[in-house]
Amino acid sequence: MSKLKDILTPFTAWNNLARDPVTVKDPVNDRPGSARYRGFHQNDIEKCIGCGACESICETGAIRMVPVEGVETKEGDSGLRPEVDYGRCCWCALCVDICSTGSLTMSNEYIWVDEDPEAFTFVPGIDPKPWDKEEKGWKKPEPDYELNIKERVSMPQREAEEREDSFIEIVKGYSREQAIAEADRCIDCGICQATCPAHMDIPDYIRAVREENLEEGFRIMYKTNPLPEVCGRICTHKCEDVCAMGHRGDPIAIRWLKRYIADSVSQENYQQALQQENPQDKDKRVAIIGAGPTGLSAAYYLALMGYTIKIFESQPRAGGMMRYGIPEYRLPYDALDMDIDYILSLGVDIQYNTRVGADVTLDELHENYDSVLIGTGLHAGKSTRIPGTDHKDVHQAIKLLREFSKGNEIPLARRIVIIGGGNVAMDITRTLARLQNQKYGEVHIITTSLETEDVMPADQEEIDEAREEKVTLRPGWGPQKIEIENDQIKGLHVQRCLSVFDENGRFSPKFDEEDQAFFEGDMVVEAIGQGMDISFLSKKVREGLDFTQRGRLMVNDWFQSKQEWLFMGGDIIQGPDVIHGIANGHKAARGIDMYLRGDLRYDEGRNK
């Protein structure tokens, strides 16, 4: 039954009788599309990162990503750009709507006449067109129009009041529902994979989360990273810095998704999940110095290849800086041990409390093993060497963290000044803050750095959480001298730092001598960086190695030194961070395998 509204609606067209007619004087040449017409494509090449989201969403196959002259592959940019085939395009504009950076748009131009059918396949922004600067046309509506969810799923963690006097892990981990929701945000572009030092198959293991196939995700991670429990917690996650989703919203929480997969597979199910086959024994022995990320990673892959592996570790437990430099509230020992125990289950042997150079020499290892890998890390703290640093109450952060990790009591004053702006500085800052809370019921710590907060090397989350835990941060100040009175430290004199590096990027801080301050404290901790200890290298070995002008050891692309039986990786070569160490260990293992098969010489890949 018709309603009165249905009957009267057609007569509303009579309203147009009162409007002025639109006359197109030149209907052949003057036929502009509407202001938001979906015409031919435009692309801001500088803004485009080549993520390929447009290609993925195109249902007609009208877009493919291609390399173009003048656009290079670099961190955060695939080097590819979209090519559009108008023989296939249906002008739906989904490519524009999905674009992660907003670089892809459509002009309102819709007329294109050409005798060459190949002309209608072109790369917008590269191949010049008359509509390139046309402002009208279809663009992603601003500000909140997104096909993808911009905000990441928040990670549950302990509030400051819960954690300020506790070493229980801060991050609680995603639930199943949270992990799937975060994985759903991924557009599967792969730019993260290129940036990851280990080149982990990030899109594939995120897809495994989305499809709830966690054992498959676990297998994918182990292809390039045998320490997923560790990296799921403390990875520097540079992959997130280049995530395509981060251009208009929050990057995908790649690290937390890695942790979710690792935590979801129990250690009892490792073997079943990874389906490792017993390798054929190659009757070759490899010695590894250091059971840190580089040594453990190399040991894992070499063991899978069938080599007999023995690690020589100076400390009573394996893990290197992962155990003796990172507090448990960030990396619990049981998570670290799950990764280590599985590597040991493959037959890897570790000889603890053995210092190369003292208990066994490098020359002896050379005599008894077919190849040697050094992955000792950076365990020596650096000093500012300002007046007063020789006082008994001035300490190195690295040593304090190591002793605390061993369960030993460490010095603890009521008022502490910490010098440094990196993650080690944040680790010792937050460790001592917890101990002050436990002992004194309050926190009196000032942490100062040359760098201002916007360029401090520490992760922003570490800086924010330190403040929440009542630490006072004073970035942008340079230490001048430690005030000492009656053999007691009174504090640190500082002056405003104007710049840290010169125009060539070299460390050359400049100060405003008129702008000074004094930070009171009874104890000073230096956390300005770490150095390597390679004193165990004999004169004979050292003379056969190449060094850079700054004293860095030189290796080829497979981390092989000029002494071809000797490989080196990790923080003494790259880093310092865990993921670089893992990547170095993996590649060094492949290099050692090639060397032992007679397929690798030092000169085949010079100077990493």
Q: What is the CATH number of the domain that holds 214?
A: 1.10.1060.10
SS3 labels along 19-35: CCCCCCCCCCCCCCCCC
- Specify whether 309 is located in the same domain as 404: no
> Residue 306 and residue 291: Cα distance in Å, rounded?
19
Does residue 255 contact residue 241 with C-beta atoms inside 8 Å?
no
- Specify whether 351 is located in the same domain as 363: yes
> Residue 450 and residue 326: Cα distance in Å, rounded?
23
- Specify whether 373 is located in the same domain as 398: no
- Among 18-32, 280-294, 306-320, 447-461, the least confident range: 18-32
**3-state SS assignment for residue 577:** coil
Instruction: Say if residue 183 is exposed, middle or buried (CB neighbours under 10 Å; 0-12, 13-18, 19+).
Output: buried
Question: Of all residues in the chain, what percent carry a pLDDT higher than 90?
Answer: 79
- Specify whether 330 is located in the same domain as 252: no
- Specify whether 222 is located in the same domain as 328: no
Peptide bond before residue 576 is cis, with ω within 30 degrees of 0: yes
> Residue 12 and residue 484: Cα distance in Å, rounded?
91
**Structural tokens at position 280:** 């054929």
| 45 in a structural domain | yes
Taking Cα atoms as reference points, which of 24, 30, 78 lies closest to residue 56?
A: 78
| 280 in a structural domain | no
- Per-position DSSP letters for 58-82, written without gaps between them: -TT--EEEEE-TT---BTTB-SEEE
Does residue 271 contact residue 338 with C-beta atoms inside 8 Å?
no
- Specify whether 385 is located in the same domain as 525: yes
Start-end of H helices in 530-577:
539-543
- Among 386-390, 568-572, 588-592, the least confident range: 568-572
pLDDT at 511 > cutoff 60: yes
pLDDT at 607 > cutoff 60: no
| 23 in a structural domain | no
Which pLDDT score is estimated for 353?
97
Question: Of all residues in the chain, what percent carry a pLDDT higher than 70?
Answer: 96
Q: What is the pLDDT of residues 589-600, one digit of tens each?
A: 999 999 999 999
- Among 33-42, 265-274, 429-438, the least confident range: 265-274
Residue-wise burial string across 309-321, b where 16 or more C-beta atoms lie within 10 A, e elsewhere: bbbbbbbebbbbb
Q: What is the pLDDT of residues 80-100, one digit of tens each?
A: 999 999 999 999 999 999 999
- What interhelical angle do 423-440 and 460-468 show, nearest 10? 20
Q: What is the mean pLDDT of the chain?
A: 92
- Specify whether 390 is located in the same domain as 498: yes
User: What would the mean pLDDT of 224-250 be, rounded to a whole number?
Assistant: 94
Taking Cα atoms as reference points, which of 500, 449, 451, 502 lies closest to residue 479?
A: 449
Which pLDDT score is estimated for 393?
97
Count of the separate structural domains present in the chain:
4
Which pLDDT score is estimated for 3?
66
Half-sphere exposure of 10 (CA within 13 A, CB side): 3
- Specify whether 416 is located in the same domain as 520: yes
User: What would the mean pLDDT of 382-389 be, rounded to a whole number?
Assistant: 94
Q: What is the pLDDT of residues 43-72, one digit of tens each?
A: 999 999 999 999 999 999 999 999 999 899
User: What would the mean pLDDT of 280-307 be, rounded to a whole number?
Assistant: 95
**3-state SS assignment for residue 301:** helix
- Per-position DSSP letters for 482-495, written without gaps between them: EEEETTEEEEEEEE
* DSSP state letter for 16: G
Does residue 555 contact residue 608 with C-beta atoms inside 8 Å?
yes
Which pLDDT score is estimated for 606?
61
> Residue 391 and residue 523: Cα distance in Å, rounded?
9
**Structural tokens at position 543:** 């003379």
| 148 in a structural domain | no
| 450 in a structural domain | yes
Q: DSSP E strands: which ranges in 322-456?
A: 349-351, 371-374, 380-381, 394-396, 416-419, 445-449
**β-strand partners of 523:** 416
- Specify whether 34 is located in the same domain as 64: yes
Which pLDDT score is estimated for 335?
95
| 149 in a structural domain | no
**3-state SS assignment for residue 269:** helix
- Boundary (domain end) residue, out of 531, 560, 578: 531
CATH of the domain at 362: 3.50.50.60
**β-strand partners of 289:** 312, 374
- Per-position DSSP letters for 369-429, written without gaps between them: SSEEEE-----EE-----TTTTSTTEEEHHHHHHHHHTT------SSEEEE--SHHHHHHH
- Specify whether 319 is located in the same domain as 417: no
> Residue 108 and residue 105: Cα distance in Å, rounded?
10
pLDDT at 33 > cutoff 70: yes
User: What would the mean pLDDT of 454-482 be, rounded to a whole number?
Assistant: 95
- Boundary (domain end) residue, out of 106, 138, 170: 138
Place of tokens 């365990």: 379
Q: Give the N- to C-terminal CA distance of the chain in Å, as an integer.
A: 82
| 10 in a structural domain | no
User: What would the mean pLDDT of 500-508 be, rounded to a whole number?
Assistant: 88
Q: What is the pLDDT of residues 512-543, one digit of tens each?
A: 999 999 999 999 999 998 888 788 888 888 88
Structural domain that includes position 299: 285-378+532-604
Q: What is the pLDDT of residues 332-385, one digit of tens each?
A: 999 999 999 999 999 999 999 999 999 999 999 999 999 999 999 877 888 999
Does residue 354 contact residue 313 with C-beta atoms inside 8 Å?
yes
- Boundary (domain end) residue, out of 274, 298, 315: 274
Which pLDDT score is estimated for 608?
45
**pLDDT classification of 8: cutoffs 50, 70, 90:** low
* DSSP state letter for 446: E
Report helix, strand and coil shares of the chain as percent, to nearest 5: 35, 20, 50
| 413 in a structural domain | yes
**pLDDT classification of 14: cutoffs 50, 70, 90:** confident
pTM for the structure as a whole: 0.89
Distance of CA 163 to the CA centre of its chain: 25
> Residue 530 and residue 517: Cα distance in Å, rounded?
27
CATH of the domain at 51: 3.30.70.3270
- Specify whether 84 is located in the same domain as 43: yes
pLDDT at 196 > cutoff 90: yes
- Specify whether 116 is located in the same domain as 43: yes
Distance of CA 296 to the CA centre of its chain: 20
